[in-house]
Amino acid sequence: MNDGFVYILTNHNRTTLYVGVTGNLPRRIVEHKKGIGADFTERYKCKCLVYFEHFDNIIDAITREKQLKNWHRDWKLNLIKSVNPEMKDLSDVYPELMFRSTQDKMLKQVQHDLLKLNPEHVSGTLKHDKGRE
């Protein structure tokens, strides 16, 4: 089964959040930045990747996306800030994420860097821990 990603985008002012799911995170982020494929993200200019989780299969990613979409805004913000306190655009901080050949290496590097910033978040937000909810 294919890998999956749940991701959260926001706009420049960090006032609107969008939760999505994909099997190819780099391609999907490029599509969002070009305004392709999601009316909501184009309308509200949600082009900044502030959070993502990697799953071993797309079914688990879809389940997590549905869960996050039902969360209150504050819960989503707390989740984002637990690993990305400044809500930086991860696709700007780690532009290599947008290239498939370096994606796996970069996902590990992003996870490592974010955990260094917030060591108490060792359960691995970017690599989903099935025991965590």
- Residue 83 in any domain: the answer is yes
Residue 92 lies in domain: 4-117
Picking from 37, 14, 68, 106, the residue whose alpha carbon sits closest to that of residue 114 is 106
Q: Which range, 34-43, 65-74, 98-107, 115-124, has the best average confidence (pLDDT)?
A: 65-74
Question: Could you give the number of structural domains in the chain?
Answer: 1
Q: What is the pTM of this model?
A: 0.74
Please give the Cα distance from 66 to 115 (Å, whole number).
25
Domain presence at residue 124: no
Q: Domain holding 52: CATH number? A: 3.40.1440
**Domain presence at residue 108:** yes
pLDDT confidence tier of residue 128, bands split at 50, 70 and 90 = very low
Position 46 in a domain:
yes
20 occurs within a structural domain: yes
- Reduced to 3 states (helix: H, G, I; strand: E, B; else coil), residue 16 is coil
Q: Where are the beta strands (DSSP E) in the chain?
A: 4-10, 17-22, 48-55
The whole-number average pLDDT for the span 95-100 is 58
